[in-house]
Structure 1
Amino acid sequence: MYPGHASTVLIKVAHLIIRAQNHLFLQLNSNSKVTGTKQTCSLHRKCKIKVIINEVKVESLESDTGINCDTSVGMSDWHWSLDLKNPDEENNQLDAGSGSLRMYKRSDRVIINVSGLRFETQTRTLSQFPDTLLGNPKKRNRYYDPYRNEYFFDRNRPSFDAILYFYHSGGRLRRPSNVPLDIFLEEIKFFELGEEVIEKYRAEEGFIKEEEKPLPENEFQRRVWLLVEHPESSTPARVIAIMSVSIIVISIVTFCLETLPEFKRYELLNDTIIVDDAMPKFGTPFFIIETGCIIWFTMELLIRFASCPVKLDFFKDSMNAIDIVSIIPYFITLGTVIQNDTNSQDKQNMSLAILRVIRLVRVFRIFKLSRHSKGLQILGQTLKASLRELGLLIFFLVIGVVLFSSAVYFAEVDTEESHFKSIPDSFWWAVVTMTTVGYGDMSPIGVYGKLVGSLCAIAGVLTIALPVPVIVSNFNYFYHRDTESTDDKERYHHVTSATGYYDEKISSYTSEVESDIMEIDEAK
């Protein structure tokens, strides 16, 4: 049979299931055969039908073109209709009139309606990916509307252009620029394009596949690990996280307050010289508070290490490295204070200089807050991903600093009151001008110097503005990736076509009273 040619055949009907409202469901047995013999049936009026049938063996097919064939045909490839003659509409009798069953070759064209926007394609295009929603006839038939002869989807219309292009191109997926990442990802999942396509899409969009973090196998160890590492796992874990954040804040506030003049200690040397005594004393309130904070940080670090499922990965984590660095200065300071009591004056001065540098490291405790702050983690990931752009920015600034500091020096070299004594002295002016800070401690006086300063400020604005969009894009990416897990928990319910309702009711129709099922006998 040629595709597209309508063929009329007569078939022996096993059962005819009749319902009201002009809906007739025709159920054929798997042993039904096309015989070419005229059949008769009775019905009260002409109506449309829907066929429920398995594949049927076609023995002799009589077509309009006079071609005979002997082949197996899938019933999903055919349309069926029932034509009735002389129905007794006045008496509404089921045994009056006769009719014939006609079978037509289904068109290869498919109409897809997406929220009112109609798309047309061919079934062989969709069948390239039989595991997808559109490529699988059984899956897409749930959305078929028999009255409009189309498949209806209440989905995002701009996204479907890319979904349909996926079938046309043989598997290439491109997100439209006007569709957000999360919405397009939901459309991919709805149309069941597959996990492989989703992973490929994530990779093309810059998503990094994160490996699942292992949990300890021991039950007690797992509970302790969740308690100190995952604040969202339970209420006690949240309480511990809040306590940890509070102690971090207390430690930072103490570090800042002890530098106030009201809390400084001074030492008298040779009865005439007063110097700042930076050597901590054991009995001071600041030292006691610092000791309490360090005890908490140390216990927290040791518990986290003891319950860690992989000890080697513990030291690879940047957060743990920050924890270690934040507590080391205390023990170095403690050792320096103890050793300072027995050393000479020269060694004490050397220890004091080292101590001031070491105590500066305490400021890194502020980064401990990033363990409990998603915002700081996203910022750190953004800076890490933008190292190339930041390096490019610094490179451009260095070029501009050297260029404009040299230019302003030679422009102001003949001016008596010039602030630019040398090119290296001009570096500071070029930096604060290009970054639009402008302290005003150094400024050009002559006309040519002011012209160079104006060009330097304009060049600085352009130089800094160029990599900013890339950094913002990286921030948006990490922000959406962080919120993706929350978005995946949401479930969206969409209205399907009316056909799905009838599909669910078909089985109930067959279980109605036997008076609704009529036997159609072969005409003599």
Structure 2
Amino acid sequence: MDGTGERSLPEPGSQDSRAGDDIEIVVNVGGVRQVLYGDLLSRYPETRLAELIHCLAGGYDTIFSLCDDYDPGKREFYFDRDPDAFKCVIEVYYFGEVHMKKGICPICFKNEMDFWKVDLKFLDDCCKSHLSEKREELEEIARRVQLILDDLGVDTAEGRWRRCQKCVWKFLEKPESSCPARVVAVLSFLLILVSSVVMCMGTIPELQVLDAEGNRVEHPTLENVETACIGWFTLEYLLRLFSSPNKLHFALSFMNIVDVLAILPFYVSLTLTHLGARMMELTNVQQAVQALRIMRIARIFKLARHSSGLQTLTYALKRSFKELGLLLMYLAVGIFVFSALGYTMEQSHPETLFKSIPQSFWWAIITMTTVGYGDIYPKTTLGKLNAAISFLCGVIAIALPIHPIINNFVRYYNKQRVLETAARHELELMELNSGTAGEGKAGGSRGDLDHLPPPEPVGKEDPSWSSRLKLSHSDTFIPLLTEEKHHRTRLQSCK
């Protein structure tokens, strides 16, 4: 104990017989000074702060292995770390759990916990969800960067056949890779629209012609246009299947199944028209062909391949199954209740339109959804009151899940934009590093991205103070890609 009556640490290298619980340590984290006592830190002896209690006995080498600097005069340990994150980490000694403050990057906070040697099990569950979400975002960024790097790089060890497959796949699947690929994507998009318009125009009686048997059929010009569109769709699908790196995954993909459903009815109808008449009656063949032609409406879903907005909407609906299920449940209960009440109240009227409860379901559906065709309507006073309550309840039931669905759509749309921006920034950083790493080069090129040197290990100690200070910074290296491929050089997602 010194002259002021306070407990203090011994000099470095000296032997102190007192127990660690009787001393205190002074830490300075990013300019924030705090006094901590040994009995508090000894609750978790595996942590870095607990190791500071006994580090002075090992001399300066042991001290600097745990902190960035040490002032013997003030007997104060210095750490070049995030003080806001440290205020959260220190809670584990008081409360036995750690909560992450709002605004702190989860990945950086995890790095801070790793530095202070605090196990992630002390992180509260509400904060672990943010960490998992950020990890998924980083993995998605790394995946996008890796895909771009794979497109930019050319493996000379591969054969000509494999390189041809890659070129065809990139040409058809990635319109942003080149100007001709973008032109092909626009052409495919326009042909989908043309095919859909031709399908609709073929049903206009004024544009139809009479065949040899006097039946109305589509105009030959429209049939030729549709045949040309189907030929393009078929060629596109076969080329994409040929160049696909995983053909089973390609065939089972939802959008590729839609492509098959869009072109298959044409060939089945053609087969039935030319060969089916020999095996069955002509009337049955015509009915089968007509049923298959209805399946042509599936080609409109091909637009989702070229529209990020439709893909975002699909994802939002998939994430909103719970809300949509609640909506259907509310409507189902309301339809059953109000149709039964409407049927009961309208029985006293001699000209009632409510013949049965199942028939009243139709009236309840169009009333609760505020459509109101007017083919079935109540005629009694109680029936009208029941109708008014039913459509008011329908409006409320429909409005309830709208907000979560919109939030899912906006959240996913904004997330995709952020991920695209982060991936672009990551590529720019890798290009910059590749340019500065070269000898005598003023700037890097995208062709150098496949030859980036791996970053130096974080844990490698440097005897100089400047190197030790740089390594202790919270903006650490995080390799997200495999060792044999490319590396992230710094954390960009929290910028």
TM-score per shorter chain, which class? 0.5 to 0.7
Higher helix share: 2
Match of 2:284 in 1: 350
Q: Distance in 1 between matches of 2:467 and 2:80?
A: 19
Instruction: Please state whether the residue corresponding to 1:248 is helix, strand or coil.
Output: helix
Partner of 1:203: 132
Matched, 1:108 2:37: no
Query: Which position in structure 2 is the counterpart of 1:227?
Result: 171
Cα distance change on mapping 1:138 and 1:242 into 2, 3 Å: farther
Query: What SS class does the counterpart of residue 281 from structure 2 fall into?
Result: helix
Provide the C-alpha distance between the structure 2 equivalents of 1:350 and 1:402, rounded to a whole number of angstroms. 40
Alpha-carbon distance, 1:289 to partner: 1.1
Distance in 2 (CA, whole Å) between partners of 1:240 and 1:199 is 45
Q: Is the 8 A contact 2:324 2:401 kept in 1?
A: yes
Question: Residues 366-402 of structure 1, C-alpha deviation per residue, up to 9 Å, x if partnerless?
Answer: 1111112222112112222323332332233222211
Structure 1 residue 222: deviation in Å? 1.8
The answer to whether the Cα contact below 8 Å between 1:111 and 1:150 also exists between their aligned partners in 2 is: yes
1:246 match:
190
Cα RMSD after superposing both structures: 4.9
Cα 1:6–1:395 shift into 2, 3 Å: closer
User: Closer, same or farther in 2 for the Cα pair 1:257/1:347, shift >3 Å?
Assistant: same
Decide whether aligned partners of structure 1 residues 127 and 347 sit closer, same or farther in structure 2, where only a CA change above 3 A counts.
Answer: farther
Q: 1:391 aligns with which of 325, 338, 343?
A: 325
2:391 to 457, 470, 478: 457
Structure 1, unpaired ranges of 5+ = 10-55, 59-67, 72-104, 494-502, 508-524
Structure 1 counterpart of 2:406, which letter?
V
Q: Deviations over 1:466-503 (max 9, x none)?
A: 3334333433443344234224244899xxxxxxxxx8
Distance 1:8 1:416, change over 3 A: closer
TM-score, normalised to structure 1, is 0.59
CA deviation map 1:202-257 (0-9, x unaligned): 53689697695987963222222122122233333222222211211111121122
Equivalent residue, structure 1, for 2:457 = none
3-state SS, counterpart of residue 378 of structure 2: coil
Of 293, 296, 300, which residue of structure 1 is paired with 2:236? 300
2:297 alignment partner in structure 1: 363
Match of 1:377 in 2: 311
Partner of 2:250: 314
User: What displacement does 1:321 show?
Assistant: 0.8
Larger strand fraction of residues: 1
- Alpha-carbon separation, structure 2, partners of 1:141 and 1:479: 43
The question of whether the paired residues in 1 share the 8 Å contact of 2:9 and 2:25 is answered with no
Q: In the superposition, relative to structure 1, how do residues 314 and 127 fare at CA in structure 2: closer, same or farther (>3 Å)?
A: farther
2:365 equivalent in structure 1: 431
Q: Using the alignment, how far apart are the partners of 1:364 and 1:253 within structure 2?
A: 13
Percent of paired sites with the same residue: 30
Task: Give the aligned length.
Answer: 385
Where do 5+ consecutive residues of structure 2 fail to align? 50-62, 72-76, 430-464, 470-495
Larger Cα-atom Rg: 1
CA distance in structure 1 between the partners assigned to 2:370 and 2:350 by the alignment: 26
Higher relative contact order (Cα pairs below 8 Å, separated by 6+ residues): 1
Specify the alignment match of 2:408 in structure 1: 474
Residue type at the aligned position of 1:291: T
The CA distance in 1 between the partners of 2:33 and 2:381, in whole Å, is 67
| Structure 1 stretch displaced more, 402-411 or 256-265 | 256-265
Offset of residue 316 of structure 1? 2.1
User: What are the residue-to-residue correspondences of 1:55-70 with 2, within 5 Å?
Assistant: 57-58=13-14, 69=16
> 1:347/1:129 Cα in 2 relative to 1: closer, same or farther (>3 Å)?
farther
Cα distance in structure 2, aligned partners of 1:119 and 1:469: 46
C-alpha deviations, 1:239-286, integer Å up to 9, x for none?
2222211211111121122222331234686xxxx75x24x56xx111
| Letter of the 2:397 counterpart | T
